[in-house]
A and B are shown apart, each in its own frame.
Chain A
Amino acid sequence: MGKRIKRYFILLSNCLILSLSGNFAYSQSVISGTVKDTLQNPIPYVNVLLKAENQDGIIAFSTTTENGTYKILTDKEGNFELTFSSISFKKNIQSIFLEKDKEYKIDANLKEETFALDEVIVNTDKAITVKKDSIIFKADAFKSGNEETVEDLLKNIPGINVESDGKIKIGGKEVEKVMVEGDDLFAKGYKMLTKNLDASVINKVEVYNRYSNNRLLKGIEESERVALNLTLKNNVKNKIFGVLKPGYGLASENRYDASANIISFREKNKFYGFTNFNNVGIETTAALSEMTDSGSETNFESMESEQGAISFIKLINYKPDVGDERTNFNNAEMASLNNIYSFSPRLKLKTIGFLDWDENKFFRNSLDTYFLPTGTFTTIEDYDLYGRTFSGFANAELTFDISKDQIFEYSGKFNGSSMETNTSLLFNNDFSKEFLEESPFSTNQTFKYTNRLRPNRALSINGYYIHSKNPQKYKSSRFLFVDLFESNGGNNGVHQLSMHKMNVAGVDASLFNKRKNGDLLQAKVGTNFFNNNYTSNFTIEGLDERPAGFQNSSIFNQFNVYFEPSYKLKLGAFAFTGNINFTQNITTLDSKNVILKKSPFFINPKITLDWELNKKNRITSFFKHENKMPSTESVQDGFVLTQYNTFSKGLQQIDPLDNSTFFVNYMLGTILSTFYANTSFIYIKNDEYLGLKSEFTRDYILNELTRLKDKEFANIQTELNIFIKSLASNAKVKIGYNEQRFENIVNGSLRQVDASTLNYGGELRSAFGSPINFHIGTEWFQSNYKTNITEQENLRNRTFLDIVYEPIKNLNLSLNSSRYFFSGLNIDNDAYYFMDFEGSYPLIKNTVSLAVMGKNLLNTRTLRNLMVDDTGVFQSEYRLLPRFFILKAKVRF
């Protein structure tokens, strides 16, 4: 009995185990069968789908083999249907009730049926939409959840690259601007936006390729530019956000670099405010130039260059090439506000306001030795400068979209400064003081009307008015010009009041026509008027009469009417652009003693030719011939003081000057080839030119212009690159030579000057896949000035080593060091070493990050350099910002 129960139990439990385990592991039912057509031939490649009855989802599927057989495994039970479908047969559906662990054999006979889809167009709702010149990304499709700023979102979008400094690149090109809802607040300063705007507010990211700043020139002008536009979600247009970036000196004297910004986007009104305080040598006006830099304008939109009034006196005329920040002892504060207001979808006003205060100090000691036909002498100078600047800038831009094909734009810029500079000067061991007061002001009013006449043709009309003036009041406490003026010796100082005032007005019209074959025909016709008012009054203290020949009061006017057709075509491997400028010019110079008038006619041609011989060889070249009138300052007859010991004047003649330029560039290989070389050659010939006639004395210099003939300049530069695979590095060799031949008159003797510079150097840069990389290089410059009596030579060298180390992700360390060497200096101090360090690490991703910056780690306090020209050797010593460390934080709110 017990045995039987036991056996029964074992059997039962076995059954249980079997059935249970079957449930878990072996409970798959197998459905198999053969599919045949009406003629009983097996059909291959029939899709056999298993679906739950009256439901959509396919649970399992199979395809018939060559023999028409199929097999489906499933662990499901219940009511199902089996669908047999193939492209050339009628769909067959069979019901099936599935139980566990069973085998089903289901055959099917399919009837033929023609399946035809005649040109069905499928529309997909894409995360990415590619249009002809734009790509639209739906932001939500690219959000992974942990992004905070727009920059993070952009990093997720394929094809968009955000570099470590925030620069956005698409296809290797930096974007022109990042707009918000089509409005551009920042121009090149877009990082302010992408690093601060919250990613969650973005609806779409639009990439515009072949972007034109003027939408009507799109497709007509040639453009390689890229721009981004962000569209915002509707519910988030009222937020205010910003960033604080305090930075303060560590273990060094009072150093700071702090900035903050605040941003808001409303549908009608968008604004951006920014402020910076620093005394680490950073020019705060750089932020302004970034925000007003609308990118590289093409020749289609070019206007007369924004020239400003002349500064007669320039107190700092040279800074050594070691980075401006090293010699700029400053204390700067700036604030700016950008605003865009939309009156209607078609009418927009953009304004920029900018205020800047700056205090600057600059120190220089010089020892100048002159080698002149009349003998040799030396001057010494010890110069301390202290300046204060207050400047303001305002810009209003109005854009009115008249219609689909017409735009009217107006821009008004106002720029004014007030500067006061004091210097104390030891010149040839005598002490003096200078004082300069300047208040430059300029305004620039432009309007532009663009009309797209046809899809391939556009008309653009520009008008502009520029007013610029620069009054200068200068005083020097020492009289250095005893030889020049009949003086009683009791003179204490000199004064100069000067002002250049200019008014420029012009209007031009351009027609662009892109032909079907891609050739571009452009014609421009226009007129402009330049009015220059040039006055200077030089007085000597204690002398009632102003010295004759040192005063200016003249009006210099130029009027041009011009026509400029140009044609661009491509013929196989050749690309050719021809451009001719025809100008009728009327120039008058009206000074106290003379009135001059000329009305020349100019024909200025320019031809560009690019030739791509084959994949490895490419030549680009141009030739141009240019006639133009001399500039305002070069036609003035009276001397003006330009430095405490220097007078300059022009030549009172208004005959045009001409020059010819030839340029050719040859590229062997490409930047991708193992060997890559680029060589360029330029030659400039001036048949007639304004040369210098100078008189040097130990106390003063007199410069005037004189007309001379035949000046030549030639320059050849070549750069060879070879990629060394075994070192994963590129080696570069640079060699160049330029030579200039001209004449000048020095202390009464006319002479030929031969000036040449030979430069040569090499670099090695690594591209290791490791966290550490380096870049090392050196370059020598050998200058030579030769006249019939003298020869001055000079050799200088710059060597650098940059190392980057990223030991862990996001911790970025970089060390930049360089050495400057000047021959001819005292052997003990002819080399100068610099080292800068920077390290940064994000503490809380996208919210708080810390950086340490060390400048001038070797604490080099002075830099001496040496330069030569045909008149002498000039040695200068500059004082440098001492070593400092700054701890910087960045907090987003």
Chain B
Amino acid sequence: MPIEVEHLTHTYLPGSPFSSTAIHDLSLTIEDGEFIGVLGHTGSGKTTFVQHLNGLLKPTEGRVIVDGVDITRKGVSLLDVRRKVGLVFQYPEYQLFEETVAKDVAFGPKNIGLSKTEIDERVRWALEQVELDFGEVAGVSPFELSGGQMRRVAIAGVLAMKPKTLILDEPTAGLDPRGRRAILAMIRRLHAENSMTVIMVSHNMDDIGPLATRLLVMNRGELVMEGTPREVFRRHDEMLAIGLGVPRGAELLYRLRQEGYPLPDDLYTLPEVRDALLSLYASKGDASAARTQAADSASPKEATPDA
């Protein structure tokens, strides 16, 4: 079920003095099973872009084709589109409204007229997917849960529609480190185990780098870079120029290359950066070992040789 975007343009408040083009002539195809990271500065159009993929926004120009169906045409059943493409907004926990967790998660399946048994099954399945214990939370008010748990309930509500594609807009925003790591691990598992296509909007390079199979980088409403994380993160200067950074590991190797050290330009995770640095260290042999000794005994500042 590929998603094809053809010449998508979106203008907010067209014809008014506040008219602004959020997306300009964007074309791309998302294949089944991809894990797409959408990066961009605030105002780059990334949220506007993903809101077109389930028909929440209609393009001013261009088309979005999901599973062979042009969802921008008049008369298309948006309910069908939403069953295929689930969208988790930023701070989705603000949209919880039901008395109990189970009712909240059941809201979508109920709306598409599923049987009671089917709804029950889906609620159990969805809560299991987000690693919440059905017995523990089903009857509880969602508002009694912690922020991280509330966010899981909101994600479960979208999963209960059994979408083939899951879009998450800044799913870790505002969470503490523990909550952030847990949500990321959960998304990774959803992608791996359910062969779901995942599209995740983020401005955290360290979050998205290890997860995404492909990155889309947006700037001022245009798709300015596209490729694997490795391909994108090696374009250090361009990323900086549009107000984004690269993961710290990539930044470090970049800086060391500037200092003349022969280090590769396509690494970014900490383990691979460590390996590259250790092998460079090993290749330096005895001379540098002696220098390290000196560095050990002297204060760091004094031991720094002039570059």
Do chains A and B stick together as partners? Answer: no
